[in-house]
Structure formats: structure tokens, C-alpha cells
Amino acid sequence: MSQPFNDIKVIDLTHVLAGPFATYQFALLGADVIKVENPINPDCARGRGGNTTQNSKMLGMNYQVQGGNKRAISIDLKTKQGQTIFKKLIKQADILVENYRASALDELGLSYESLSAINPKLIYCSITGFGATGSKAKINAYDNVIQASSGIVSQSGGHKPGVSFVDYATGLEAAFAISAALFRAERTGMGAHISVSMYETALLMMAPEAAREKNQHNNPNHLEAGIKTYPTQQGELCLGAFTPQQMSKCLKALVQDGYCNIKIPTLNEWDELWKAGESLHAELQDIFLQNTADFWQEYMHNIGLPAEKLRHLAEAVNDQQLDAREFFKKVTIDGKPQYIPTSAYKFDDEGGVKLTRSAPQISQHADEILQEIEIRPEEINALRKSGVIL
């Protein structure tokens, strides 16, 4: 069964997290993704991860989780020979993704205008901290500073969440935009220049809150008892009785089963739910202390309501649900089998996500990539001796 991006070629001029994650989406779905790195300064994510041996070999887990199925070559793009090689790759490519400093490629003569003259159908995607225009266009950024500047840290009680989710959400935004441009290119022959902003992605993930603040709506923070976390006799429970109807259902079951004896308030509208928030929160705190988080999780599931006990990541990654979904795929890294996350979706047929090989070593595929653009072996040797490639 053919994968969606078979015969699509992606030039991956990215590093760290957001850019490599965007191109990883295409690699999982059959595209030929060629990772282009600086011979002297390769992707810094290669040296990061929980296994120091892998890190020392530039095969760290931070790199592995978004590098599978790709091929790798190292080219010095500051040299004329390197730029010539790169342009030959671009001529055969469908997509270029880069996440360097704004205008960095322009300064090397590798702007969208220059490369689209070589390949008019090229989809050229640039991922930056704040986008290609505006007063902050040339300011560099990482996930943590975007979380700070966007209001995420403030919305999270003054603490930065311990994951780089802005990077990964930005990668998904980029992959979606590129897919849309690719769809248009197939119909019209038009290329595209796409600018993706981490800052805007962060705000997009807070769309209701951002819209409320932008429009200065008078919407005070209500205590929503149905989506709070509660201590129990053992562990904590995150309840998911979100709507007025779900909270009514929850309370009726608890009264019927003898866990409380309260007069259930009328909860048909949001305002009624919010008005009762304080009293319901106090009541539920007492109720959930009667048993364990495991008990209440099963209880809520049995009455058809969302609820989950708080778990550590070590528990979550070993959930049998993930095994049933084949979320983690086994690959060989440095001679040892290890497990890599793939995607949160599945095709019913065989044309969906496939992870067939681990992320490549530095410039692992240089010779075969160069031969595909008709550079002879003796020329490759000369390029390697001069330091243009590794």
C-alpha cells in the first residue's frame, strides 16, 4: 500500500526540535527526507538525551525521536561548492524546511526568491521564534522563552511546564501548512513560501484565553469543580465532569450510591454550574477522600464520565493502551533495540505511518545522495578532502 508522501522529497535544513519534528511527519509517511547539516556544527540535539554513550556518539534520544527514516548529509553552505550541491538538491526537491535565524539563508544567497527561480514548484517553509515580519522577526528564540513571552508560564501559575510542547506544536503547524501547500502545488503547480511562528503557535494553543484577553471580555475565573484534581486516600484524581449535564450525572450517581447526601442544584446552564462551583468543590473534596484514586477512576468510567488518576510519565509510557495502538516502534540504535514514539493517529490500511530505521549518523548517506544528483565518486572524494562535505 502506497504511503501518502511516497515520491515526495524534503530537504531538511533544521535543527533542535520544531523543525526536525515537522520533517519527521513526512518521513513517517513515506517521504524521502534528506537532513542537511553543517559539517563543523551538526544538529545540537544529537548530543542530548538520557544515554550518555549515545550522546557521545551524536545519536542522543532528543535527536532520535524526530530523526527516524531520514537520510543525512553534511554540506558547508558557506562555500560556493556547497551552495552548488544544495541547489542541485533543491532542483529535485518538493519541500525545503529550515529553522535558522531569520534572513540567515538569504545572506547565503539561498532565499526563497533564489531557490524558487531554480524550482518554481518548491514549498519553502521557514520556522522562527516570532515569524518573518514585525519588530521581533530577527530575534532568536527557544521553547522556554516563548512559553515565558506568550503568557503560558503566567497561565500555568508562574511555572514553566516541564516539556517543550511549543516546539512540537510548531512542528505540527508547519507540517500541516506544508501539506496544504503541497496539495495546492499538485493542482496548480504553484510553490509557496511559508513562515511559521513559535510565538503565534503558543497563543494558538491558548485560543479561548487569548481571545478573551484581546477582546477584554468580562469573564472572571470561575471555580469549575468538575475539572479539578482531588486528593484521595491514595493518589490524586483528575475529574472530567466538564459540562453542566456531566456534573449533574456525577452528583446523581454519588447520591444514589450513598457517597453523599446533598440536594443536587439545578445545573442546566454554564452560569448555574459556575455559581455552584465553590460548594461543589468542597463537597467533592470530602467525597473523594473516602476511597483511592484507582477506585474513583473506575467508578467514573463505569458511569460514563472522564476521570484519570495522576500518573508519573514512567507509568504512562508503559500503559498497555499504547501497546494496543503500537505507539512506540522498536528500532536499533547503536546496535541496541530501543523504542521511539511515532504518531497519535493510525490509518486502517498499510499506507500510514511506518518507522523502518533509526535516525542517521552524521553524513551517513552523503555518497548515495550526491551520486543521485550525478556527482561522480572522484568529485565526492575531492569535496570531502576540501571540507565541503563530510
Mean pLDDT, consecutive 10-residue segments, the chain of 390 residues? 94 98 98 97 96 96 97 97 97 97 92 97 98 94 97 95 96 98 96 98 96 83 92 98 97 97 93 95 98 98 98 96 96 94 93 95 97 96 96
Q: Residue 219 has what pLDDT? A: 67
Q: Residue 222 has what pLDDT? A: 81
Backbone φ and ψ for 246, nearest 5 degrees, come out as: -70, -40
Q: Residue 267 has what pLDDT? A: 94
Q: Residue 48 has what pLDDT? A: 96
Contact 317, 305 (CB under 8 A): no
22-35, pLDDT tens digit by residue? 999 999 999 999 99
Single pTM value for the model: 0.94
Q: Residue 220 has what pLDDT? A: 66
What CA–CA distance (Å, rounded) separates 13 from 25?
Answer: 15
Q: Residue 300 has what pLDDT? A: 98
Contact 131, 161 (CB under 8 A): no
Q: Where are the domains of the chain?
A: 9-208+326-385, 225-314
Pick the CATH number of 9-208+326-385 from 3.30.70.940, 3.40.30.10, 3.40.50.10540, 3.20.20.60: 3.40.50.10540
Catalytic site residue 94?
A: no
225-314 has the same fold as 9-208+326-385:
no
Q: How many CB atoms lie within 10 A of CB 227?
A: 13
Q: Which of 36, 97, 43 is nearest to 71 (CA)?
A: 36
**Per CATH, the architecture of 225-314 is what?**
2-Layer Sandwich (3.30)
Catalytic residue among 12, 94, 143, 167: 167
